[in-house]
């Protein structure tokens, strides 16, 4: 039984009305979130300070995270499939990270001096990621990418920066439907945008003089689009041939295996960046890579670059990151969460396929994204899952945490299938003109 493509539905079934009803139902159940939203609108433009968190009619406000769950101000509990857009890989309030934070609270956290934990973290990261000979810390993934790009341009003495359509490297490095090369907030670099996964298109990209190319092995915010391995290998080759530095943005993808996407795809970048889950949910970023490139920050080696940042080595994030890497992320757990994500992708794809729904799933491992041909169908699915206690990101994105179990994903798949049959019963299928 097929759900009619919304484009075929025409006026006979009003998806817009269904979306309106879903929003009204959602709003009626959440008076506290609604009141908070109105309060926020007066002082936070759009009611938030992180645009992606907004959805219509207003986002629920959280009070608590517990393991795999979020709890909101109206008392609703959700299994957190959004996972803070990959940052909650180890779940909410992980015990060993909490212990590390408490230990820092006893000693002080804004000490403005080098300490030993930053050395330990650098050692852990350099041991973990093959391309990381040396590393420097930042406060976010965006900052890590900005610094990696600036470092690469300084090192090569060139100005061009190769990027890909749908690439997202931070709010000021955004090249998708959500912005394009001329996104008004983008950093003022000389970006050259090429098509992701288009090996032939690399000829045009490399006809420009580039200091670096930055790429994700799975475009996360761009809709969980995995790179073709041969595309990454071709990119690596072209970079080497032209003296262009390859920056692998592993802010999201480093969760895909013990040595990140570089291990999984067998691609060694010159520089790589990190963020998201590494500090167990605290703010964090890092850029690192080839020793000769990072030596630009070492005056003893003739380096002329300095990197400022009041909170670069803040005690809370650095110690939380050490605890995350040492105790919360063993290789088996990482393998498990990624295998579970692959299974979930297969199961959801099968459910959409069986229903002949105009919806599909992309991704790799624990990063996946549900898509729909019509944006209203995706919004209906989002609200339907929220009604049933599954919080996926409004745009369909999911990043599993290691605390999400097979029982959770089985329930999500079952609820998806039930919703798909409800949609058919409610007449979407029969509404073909």
Ligand X SMILES: Cc1ncc(COP(=O)(O)O)c(C=O)c1O
Smallest distance from ligand X to CB 265, Å:
15
Q: Measured between alpha carbons, how far is residue 278 from residues 225, 242, 287, 346 in Å?
A: 22, 33, 12, 27
Distance, CA of 406 to CA of 79 (rounded, Å): 12
CB 93 to ligand X: min, Å: 20
- To ligand X, the closest distance from the beta carbon of 167 in angstroms equals 8
Residue closer to ligand X by CB (options 4, 145) is 145
Closest approach of ligand X to the CB of residue 12, in Å: 39
Sequence-separated contacts (24+) of 95-100 with Cβ below 8 Å: 96/323, 96/324, 96/326, 96/327, 96/328, 97/280, 97/281, 97/282, 97/320, 97/323, 97/324, 97/328, 99/323, 100/280, 100/319, 100/320, 100/322, 100/323
Quick one: 220 or 341, whose CB is closer to ligand X?
220
Residue partners of 238: CB distance under 8 A and separation at least 6: 202, 205, 206, 244
By beta-carbon proximity to ligand X, the closer residue of 362 and 424 is: 362
CB of 368 to ligand X, least distance (A): 14
CA distance 41 to 47: 4
Q: How far is the CB of 257 from ligand X (least distance, A)?
A: 16
User: Residue 425 CB, nearest distance to ligand X (Å)?
Assistant: 38
Structure-token match 């929003």, residue found: 23
CB of 36 or CB of 235, closer to ligand X:
235
308 C-beta neighbours (distance < 10 Å), count: 5
Chain residues in the site for ligand X (CB under 6 A): 85, 140-142, 145, 168-170, 216, 220-221, 249, 251-252, 275, 285
Contact (CB, 8 A) for 312 and 121: no
Q: Which residues pair with 167 in a beta bridge?
A: 175
Nearer to ligand X, 277 or 419 (CB): 277
Pairing outcome for strands 271-274 and 245-249: parallel
Q: Which is nearer to ligand X, 141 or 176 (CB)?
A: 141
Distance, first Cα to last Cα, the chain: 16
Q: Which residue, 141 or 211, has its beta carbon nearer to ligand X?
A: 141
Q: Which residue in the shown chain puts its C-beta closest to ligand X?
A: 141
């Amino acid at each position: 039984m097929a759900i009619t493509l919304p484009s075929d539905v025409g006026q006979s079934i009003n998806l817009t009305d269904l979306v309106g009803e879903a929003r009204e139902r959602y709003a009626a159940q959440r008076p506290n979130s609604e009141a908070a939203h109105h309060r926020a609108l007066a002082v936070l433009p759009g009611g938030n300070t992180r645009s992606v968190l907004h959805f219509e009619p207003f986002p629920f406000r959280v009070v608590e995270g517990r393991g795999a769950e979020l709890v909101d101000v109206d008392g609703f509990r959700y299994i957190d499939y959004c996972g803070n857009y990959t940052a909650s890989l180890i779940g909410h309030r992980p015990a060993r990270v909490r212990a590390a934070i408490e230990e820092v609270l006893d000693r002080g956290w804004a000490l403005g001096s080098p300490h030993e934990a930053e050395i330990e973290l650098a050692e852990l990261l350099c041991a973990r990621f093959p391309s990381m000979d040396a590393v420097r810390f930042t406060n976010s993934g965006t900052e890590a990418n900005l610094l990696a790009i600036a470092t690469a341009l300084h090192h090569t003495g060139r100005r061009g920066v190769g990027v890909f359509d749908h690439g997202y490297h931070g709010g000021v490095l955004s090249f998708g439907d959500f912005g394009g090369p001329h996104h008004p907030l983008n950093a003022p670099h000389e970006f050259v945008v090429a098509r992701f996964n288009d090996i032939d298109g690399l000829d045009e990209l490399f006809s420009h003089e580039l200091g670096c190319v930055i790429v994700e092995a799975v475009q996360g915010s761009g809709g969980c689009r995995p790179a073709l391995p041969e595309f990454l290998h071709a990119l690596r080759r072209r970079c080497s041939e032209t003296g262009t530095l390859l920056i692998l943005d592993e802010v999201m993808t480093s969760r895909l295996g013990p040595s990140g996407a570089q291990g999984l795809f067998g691609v060694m970048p010159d520089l790589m960046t990190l963020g998201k889950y590494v500090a167990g949910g605290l703010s964090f970023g890092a850029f690192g890579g080839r020793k000769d490139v990072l030596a630009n920050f070492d005056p003893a080696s003739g380096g002329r670059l300095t990197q400022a940042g009041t909170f670069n080595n803040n005690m809370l994030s650095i110690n939380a990151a050490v605890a995350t890497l040492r105790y919360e992320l063993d290789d088996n757990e990482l393998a498990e969460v990624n295998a579970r994500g692959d299974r979930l992708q297969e199961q959801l794809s099968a459910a959409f396929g069986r229903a002949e729904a105009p919806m599909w799933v992309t991704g790799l491992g624990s990063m996946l994204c549900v898509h729909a041909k019509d944006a209203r169908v995706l919004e209906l699915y989002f609200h339907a899952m929220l009604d049933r206690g599954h919080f996926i990101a409004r745009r369909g994105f999911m990043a599993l945490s290691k605390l999400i179990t097979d029982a959770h994903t089985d329930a999500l798949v079952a609820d998806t299938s039930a919703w798909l049959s409800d949609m058919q019963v409610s007449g979407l299928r029969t509404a073909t003109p």
